[in-house]
Structure 1
Amino acid sequence: MRAKLSTPPAIPAGALAAGPQPILAAPGDLVLRAWEPADAPAFLSAYQDPHIQHWHTRQPASEDQVREWFAQYRQAWAQETGASWAVTRGGGEVLGRIAMGSLNLDDGVAGCAYWVLPAARGAGVASRALNALSVWALGEAGFHRLHLDHSTRNEASCRVAVKARFLLEGTKRSDAIHADGRHDMHLHARIRGG
């Protein structure tokens, strides 16, 4: 049995999973939608990119494994533990991925992560998608705080965070492992109304 909270939860259990994962729009004809089985080739190809490989230690090995991940994403939404969206051009062509994880509904806190395919980089895709996700999460969904971290050496990810109004809060020393070893990580956050 779940322990009784001394304060009400920021987001009541079941509030997110009561409906389907939302489709979110962002400027420039970007549409954030749930992953579909037909997206598996684009998702797998993303992890062939050296930059994505460098920053992501967990990588799918096949399209079948990608589809298993998609099933895990659907399950995470149903269990209110996470959500992952395909960042698309008009709902079709996959340009990237944006996700929320470590959802804490009691406190109204979640972590964010993103990547963009090489052909879509440099056009503000990630920052527009992150901003659209943040507006929904900090508004309609009821979260109070979103956070993300990235290697202090990943300057592109830092630019995305800052453009999406995630303030730099500090550096977590030797916090994560990447392809070339342990990295210090910048911690950024965006809060409701801030």
Structure 2
Amino acid sequence: MAHIRERSLQQPLPELYGHGLRLRPWDADDDTDVTDWLRGVSDPEFQRWNTPLRPITDLTSARNSLRSRAENAEDGVSASFCVTDAAGGTTLGHIGVNDIDHVIRVARVGYWTLPEARGRNVATRALTLAARWALTDLGLHRLELGHALGHDASCRIAEHCGFPAEGTLRGAMFEAGQRDAFRDVHLHGRLATDPEPEVKV
């Protein structure tokens, strides 16, 4: 039987640098991080395309959400990074490597940017960094990226970062703001054996 390589998440999570960004773990005890997290998930553009499993409506629920993500990192099943400007430290958004399966070596990536950070290729730069880390240091073989059908901006980011479209998953995520209605998901994937994309950042 072939040997299955398993690799756990480094604790604490590393900081990732490149393309003018610093990716660091979110801090549930930092009031600024909690406020920025709440701003991000409360943003109308975020809510248009995403419906969190647990509502995040105030600072308390935002802090609890970040604590849950820290626990998931300790359990080795996800890694959540605050995307910041490398020079000034300003929070720009979020990127996560989620649902990590260390046996099959697959995970899902997701991201968002704050309104004031849009139009600066932040998501493209952050995904480039996080994907490289996940497919090398973390030892994953496959990363999946899914977005609601019609989210053309996310589709372009995926393609630019070496995640070609693979198909449509029917009824695979909640409709915006609903938990009793579903919509289709456009699936992208990238393998560790794929050529490194030439990302313009």
Same fold, judged at TM 0.5 (above):
yes
Q: Quick check: 1:21 aligned with 2:13?
A: yes
Q: Partner residue of 2:183?
A: 183
Listed one character per residue, the Cα deviations across residues 60-111 of structure 1 (whole Å, up to 9, x for unaligned) are 1111211111111111111111111101112721111100111110011001
2:60 match: secondary structure: helix
What amino acid does structure 1 have at the position aligned with 2:34? A
Partners in 2 of 1:20 and 1:115 — Cα distance?
A: 23
Partners in 2 of 1:75 and 1:54 — Cα distance?
A: 27
Q: Of 117, 137, 141, which residue of structure 1 is paired with 2:138? A: 141
Partners in 2 of 1:47 and 1:16 — Cα distance?
A: 25
Q: Of 22, 35, 60, which residue of structure 2 is paired with 1:41? A: 35
8 A Cα contact 1:10 1:143, kept in partner: no
Partners in 2 of 1:193 and 1:42 — Cα distance?
A: 36
8 A Cα contact 1:87 1:98, kept in partner: yes
Listed one character per residue, the Cα deviations across residues 15-51 of structure 1 (whole Å, up to 9, x for unaligned) are 324x320111130x21110012231111111233211
2:3 match: secondary structure: coil
Shift of 1:184: 1.6
Q: Quick check: 1:132 aligned with 2:122?
A: no
Q: TM-score, normalised by structure 2?
A: 0.86
Q: Partner residue of 2:89?
A: 92
Q: Of 44, 56, 62, which residue of structure 1 is paired with 2:58? A: 62
Q: Partner residue of 2:199?
A: none
Shift of 1:193: 2.5
2:42 match: secondary structure: coil
Q: TM-score, normalised by structure 1?
A: 0.89
Shift of 1:178: 2.0
Partners in 2 of 1:168 and 1:105 — Cα distance?
A: 24
Q: Of 163, 167, 178, which residue of structure 1 is paired with 2:164? A: 167
Q: Quick check: 1:81 aligned with 2:77?
A: yes
Q: Partner residue of 2:99?
A: 102
Identity of aligned residues (%): 35
Partners in 2 of 1:35 and 1:71 — Cα distance?
A: 9
Q: How many residues align?
A: 185
Q: Partner residue of 2:198?
A: none
Q: Partner residue of 1:117?
A: 114
Shift of 1:151: 1.2
8 A Cα contact 1:10 1:107, kept in partner: no
Q: Identify unmatched segments of 5+ residues in structure 1.
A: 1-5
- What RMSD in Å do the two structures reach over aligned CA positions? 1.6
Q: Partner residue of 1:3?
A: none
Residues 1:120 and 1:9: Cα distance change in structure 2 (over 3 Å): same
